């Protein structure tokens, strides 16, 4: 079944005519997950520092529904500090093989502790150890220093539970705008932008 033509999702064959961005987001993510060989949920996350200088890095999308887009990080990292001072962000997911991308931007807020605990517990044990060992974004003398910390933590926790550190949590972006782009021949791309309008959305088709 072609998700772009599944009436139950509320997505018309011409995606620029969709009335709500979330069914369209779900349909495109479903196709990307099936088509992309690795990390279809990778997205570029843009923030700004105290001087307004933009910063961008790749993160993984770990949740997407009408409440927003979720990613996880160390709040003491560079992006964590930037988000604390300016709790707004922009993201883009780009799938080259599908010739598509989705952009979104809006305010951010932490996920609930229960959500963060549940996701942290679902991670591989070594990833949980790594999250505790990493003083993300801070200077590191050399790799052996990091690996020694990982080894010490592995011995400390042995086969017991590994608690989520207080400085590690998730953030949810509540988009005020979402834009869907599909590559067209001779750069005649299709673009549609959804903008928050009260409890709903307004839609604008854009020139390439």
CATH number at residue 105: 2.30.110.10
Q: What is the phi/psi pair of residue 26, to 5°?
A: -60, -40
| 17 assigned to a ligand binding site | no
What is d(CA 104, CA 90) in angstroms, rounded to the nearest whole number?
6
Whether 149 and 133 have beta carbons less than 8 Å apart is answered as yes
Residues annotated as catalytic are 187
pLDDT digits (tens, 9 = 90+) for 56-109: 999 999 999 999 999 999 999 999 999 999 999 999 999 999 999 999 999 999
| 182 assigned to a ligand binding site | no
| 100 assigned to a ligand binding site | no
Q: What is the phi/psi pair of residue 102, to 5°?
A: -130, 130
- When divided into structural domains, the chain yields a total of 1
pLDDT bucket at 17, cuts 50 / 70 / 90: very high
Token pair, residue 185, equals 């021949």
Contacts of 97 (CB under 8 A, 6+ apart): 35, 36
pLDDT over threshold 50, residue 5: no
What is d(CA 135, CA 154) in angstroms, rounded to the nearest whole number?
16
Report the Cα 186 to chain-centroid distance in Å. 30
Query: Quick check: pTM over 0.85?
Result: yes
Measure Cα distances from 176 to 85, 112, 205 in Å: 19, 21, 16
**What pLDDT is recorded for position 10?**
65
| 53 assigned to a ligand binding site | no
The mean per-residue pLDDT over the stretch 43-65 comes to 97
| 164 assigned to a ligand binding site | no
Domain that holds residue 25: 3-206
């Amino acid at each position: 079944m072609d998700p772009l033509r599944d009436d139950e999702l509320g997505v018309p064959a011409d995606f620029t005519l969709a009335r709500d961005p979330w069914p369209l987001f779900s349909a495109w993510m479903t196709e990307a997950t099936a088509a992309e060989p690795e990390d279809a949920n990778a997205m570029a996350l843009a923030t700004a520092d105290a001087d307004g200088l933009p910063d961008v890095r790749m993160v993984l999308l770990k949740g997407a529904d009408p409440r927003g887009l979720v990613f996880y990080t160390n709040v003491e990292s560079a992006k964590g500090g930037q988000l604390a001072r300016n709790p707004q962000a922009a993201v883009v997911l780009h799938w080259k093989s599908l010739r598509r991308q989705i952009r979104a931007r809006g305010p951010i807020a932490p996920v609930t502790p229960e959500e963060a605990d549940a996701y942290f517990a679902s991670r591989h044990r070594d990833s949980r150890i790594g999250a505790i060992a990493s003083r993300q974004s801070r200077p590191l003398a050399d790799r052996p220093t990091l690996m020694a910390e990982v080894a010490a933590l592995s011995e400390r926790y042995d086969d017991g539970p590994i608690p989520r550190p207080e400085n590690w949590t998730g953030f949810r972006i509540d988009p005020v705008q979402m834009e869907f782009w599909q590559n067209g021949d001779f750069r005649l791309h299709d673009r549609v932008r959804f903008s928050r309008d009260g409890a709903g959305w307004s839609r604008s088709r854009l020139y390439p």
